[in-house]
Structure 1
């Protein structure tokens, strides 16, 4: 079962919850599609920032 949960904060693509699992990435209060997460590599950016400080 697919349930619409919102839109990607980057590209505005519709994000669904599929069979109880988010079909995207929840990050810092926003949701992103898999493609935008891979392009922006958001999670790795924060990890690198923490290593620098």
Structure 2
């Protein structure tokens, strides 16, 4: 059982499954961002700055 499902069951019990699925997707998206090592890359994802042409970001 995933960590998210354990947390869901502990805090929410049997809520509407569609709402929980949305929460789980958002949770996994945020965890994915936290797993990125490059802070500039995270910043660009969070803020939507995809046209940053600095030397360090040109390969993204």
Decide which structure has the larger Cα Rg and report it. Answer: 2
| Greater helix share, structure number | 2
TM-score between both structures, scaled by the size of structure 1: 0.35
Of the two structures, which has the highest relative contact order with CA contacts closer than 8 Å and spacing of 6 or more?
1
